[in-house]
Amino acid sequence: MDVLVIGAGVGGLAVARSLLAAGHQVRIYEQAPTMRTGGAGLSIFSNGAAVLHDLGVSLDGVGGRFDRIDALTADGRLRLSSDMAHAATLYGFPNKSISRRLLLERLSEGLPGDLISYGTGCRKVTQDGDRVTATFDDGSMITGDLLIGADGHHSVVRRELWGDLPIRTATFGTWQALSRIDIDLTRAHLHLMITGREGACGIIPAGDGKLQWWFDVRWSPGEPRPVAPLAELRRRFGHWASPVPELLAQASEDDLDFFGHHWQKVRREWGKGRVTLLGDAAHLMPPTLGQGANQTLEDVWVLGRELAKGGDPAQRLRAYERARYPHVNLVSRLARHSPANWRIPPLIGRMFSETSQSGMLARFSNRLTALPH
């Protein structure tokens, strides 16, 4: 089939790889003038790593592996420890923090040079019988057999299908960075998640002497941002236990980016006819569980499997949406609230098994549950 993909983010590039490998013709239309290079880092868990492996994308030599997630109180006491090496061994794929730029580069490797039309924002989508037409900002049009809306957060394809569905503000936002910081944790395989009254802080070694780190704070749209955000973070979190003060001492304001978060109820049906959605366009959620991109990769895997079955493409697209719904709906509901609310008392935390994340990851995933074990 001749497949039109709107958006060249994680989802658009990954689905193009999958469909090209299956022998389809694919074209991607991206509104930005070039590939995105910012966006700091992403956690790729065993489920996303498994899909990347299936797509022939290697994460060897990039990013930092984490074998454990320790949730701490602001004064440094252990709330809960999760053995992520257990999940990595069980499923055969490690958990890693990797820069978004490097992930997009690896996803693009080996793709045809003329696959992506940059600076081509989609404005309208129509269907007529077996053909789908996308209209772009400059008035040009293109027609194909299928259209996949991988156009993220403010998806035009979603709006064309369903109108303006309500998007809720998630009450919190994130100051995030990926930067060279030399503390003991930089060389460890440990992901720290620290929560207290002032908000939450996550720190993960991202390889190459870098840390992926972020602070979640209360936020509402329109609220003025601090003029000197790093000074504000130091004021608010500088008294937390090590390694937060050491991290903040070495941090640079140039690395910091702010993201306000949103959440949208996952629909049972994402598309109509020969059009479907994929990634944030279908399931926008805050990064509480670090699953947005992982769930996007899960979409790609299921969509590829469904289309490979052949038959009526519209039916295959609906089967893909039905298969994804229970998993991504669970993730989305859990991810809705700020991590700062997840303040499990240390005593209760000791009652959870260290390996509880392995079972949770399987519940999040179509890909991992398909593995024999």
Ligand X SMILES: Cc1cc2nc3c(=O)[nH]c(=O)nc-3n(C[C@H](O)[C@H](O)[C@H](O)COP(=O)(O)OP(=O)(O)OC[C@H]3O[C@@H](n4cnc5c(N)ncnc54)[C@H](O)[C@@H]3O)c2cc1C
Q: Using CB under 6 A as the criterion, which residues of the chain lie in contact with ligand X when the complex forms? A: 6-12, 29-32, 36, 42-43, 121-122, 150-153, 156, 174, 176, 259, 279-281, 287, 290-294, 296
Contact of 44 with 294, CB cutoff 8 Å: yes
- What strands, in cross-sheet order, belong to the sheet with 131-136? 122-128, 131-136, 141-144
Any idea what the Cα angle at residue 131 is, between residues 304 and 104, rounded to 5°? 40
The minimum distance between CB 2 and ligand X, in angstroms, equals 18
In the complex with ligand X, which residue's Cβ is closer, 144 or 287? 287
Task: Tell me which residue has tokens 């959440």.
Answer: 263
- Residue 290: CB minimum distance to ligand X, A: 3
CA 218 to chain centroid, in Å, comes to 21
- DSSP lists the bridge partners of residue 28 as 5, 116
How far is residue 20's CA from residue 3's CA, in Å, rounded to a whole number?
A: 9
Three-class DSSP category at 224: coil
> Quick one: 7 or 243, whose CB is closer to ligand X?
7
- Give the tokens for residue 76: 């440094």
Our CB check for ligand X shows the closer of 153 and 322 to be 153
**Axis-axis angle for helices 46-54, 292-308 (nearest 10):** 40
Nearer residue to ligand X within complex by CB, 169 or 241:
169
Residue 372, preceding peptide bond in cis (omega within 30° of 0): no
Quick one: 81 or 294, whose CB is closer to ligand X?
294
Q: Cβ closer to ligand X: 32 or 348?
A: 32
Residue type, 370: A
How far, in Å, CA of 32 to CA of 119, rounded? 5
Q: How far is the CB of 326 from ligand X (least distance, A)?
A: 19
To ligand X, the closest distance from the beta carbon of 159 in angstroms equals 9
Nearer to ligand X, 95 or 309 (CB): 95
Which has the closest alpha carbon to 242: 37, 35, 77, 31?
A: 77
Give Cα 112 to chain centroid, integer Å: 24
